[in-house]
Structures are given as structure tokens and as C-alpha cells.
């Protein structure tokens, strides 16, 4: 099997991939933020907190909830030239490789721990730091069905 694809990364998909890979951390921050907002509401309702303290807890909770999303977006926007590049992906019987003008990653199938199938891309992860992303829009329907049959048999 040999499948080649070429695409240009966009920031929205890169953001969705980053949030998908870090969803545990995102859920933790959202839960902590909600707890702070609930604490602020209960403290204000029971008169255990002054109005200023309740507002401070509520604002802190909201900041903690949105902090992961904002930090990812700021990183993407600040480094837009690095993330919005042309990518060449090649899938073979030996593994999957991805290359840009400045970076090249090759994962053998034995190293791929999980394959995440999202609505618009496939994410091949060997570790938290070694990931190859393949946009489904870059594949023809024949290539996509060939790849999915290969992945079903392999993984």
C-alpha cells in the first residue's frame, strides 16, 4: 500500500487537533473553573463571602475555564508561519511519514499507539509529542477507503 497526500494546514484544524490531543487537561481546567464559579455563587448566596470576594472567585473561575483555549489560540496565532505550512504525508506498509519545509516525522506502525478518527482528519499518535495528522480532505474516496481497510486490519 502506498498513499500520498498533500495539503496546507489551517489554524482551525490545527486548533481542533491540539484540543483533541489535550482534552483531559482541558476538561480538568473546565471542571476547576466551574467549581470556582459554583463556590462563588454559593458563597454569595449564603452570605459567607462578601460581594467582592464572590466576584473575584467567579472571574477567576471563568478565566480558568477559558485559559486552555485562549493559550492554544494565542500560540497558533503567534506562530502562524510555523503552523500554516504545506504538508506532504505518505502512508506505506512500513509506517506513516509527514514532512514540511522545516520538519519531518516518520512513525513505524509498531510505534503508533493510537489512531484518532475525527470528522475531518486522522491523528496517528506514538506519544504526546510524536503525532502525524492526515486531513481527510486531502485524500480521494478510494484512498480513504483503502486506508481505513488497512487500519482496520492493522490496528
Residue-level pLDDT at 1: 84
Name the one residue in this structure whose C-alpha cell is 486531502: 138
More confident residue, 81 or 107: 107
pLDDT for 104 beyond 80: yes
Three-state DSSP state, 4:
strand
CA dist., res. 16 & res. 22, Å (int): 10
C-alpha cell at 132: 502525524
In tens, the pLDDT along 72-97 reads 999 999 988 888 889 999 999 999 99
Q: Residue 23: is its pLDDT beyond 80?
A: yes
The confidence score (pLDDT) of residue 28 equals 96
Pick the CATH number of 2-9+84-154 from 3.30.160, 1.10.3470, 2.30.29, 2.60.120: 2.30.29
The pLDDT of residue 153 is 85
pLDDT of residue 10: 86
Residues 6 or more apart whose CB falls under 8 angstroms from that of 79 comprise none
pTM above 0.85, yes or no: no
d(CA 16, CA 117): 12
**Does residue 126 contact residue 112 with C-beta atoms inside 8 Å?**
yes
Amino acid at each position: 500500500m502506498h498513499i500520498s497526500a498533500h495539503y496546507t494546514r489551517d489554524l482551525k484544524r490545527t486548533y481542533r487537533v491540539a484540543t483533541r490531543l489535550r482534552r483531559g487537561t482541558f476538561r480538568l481546567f473546565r471542571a476547576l473553573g466551574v467549581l470556582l464559579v459554583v463556590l462563588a455563587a454559593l458563597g454569595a448566596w449564603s452570605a459567607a463571602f462578601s460581594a467582592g470576594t464572590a466576584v473575584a472567585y467567579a472571574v477567576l473561575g471563568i478565566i480558568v475555564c477559558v485559559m486552555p483555549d485562549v493559550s492554544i489560540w494565542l500560540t497558533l496565532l503567534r506562530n502562524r508561519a510555523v503552523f500554516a505550512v504545506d504538508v506532504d504525508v505518505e502512508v506505506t506498509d512500513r509506517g506513516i511519514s509527514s514532512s514540511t519545509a522545516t520538519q519531518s516525522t516518520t512513525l513505524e506502525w509498531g510505534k503508533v499507539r493510537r489512531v484518532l478518527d475525527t470528522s475531518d482528519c486522522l491523528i496517528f499518535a506514538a506519544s504526546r509529542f510524536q503525532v502525524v495528522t492526515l486531513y481527510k480532505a486531502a485524500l480521494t474516496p478510494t484512498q480513504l477507503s483503502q486506508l481505513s481497510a488497512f487500519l482496520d486490519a492493522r490496528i
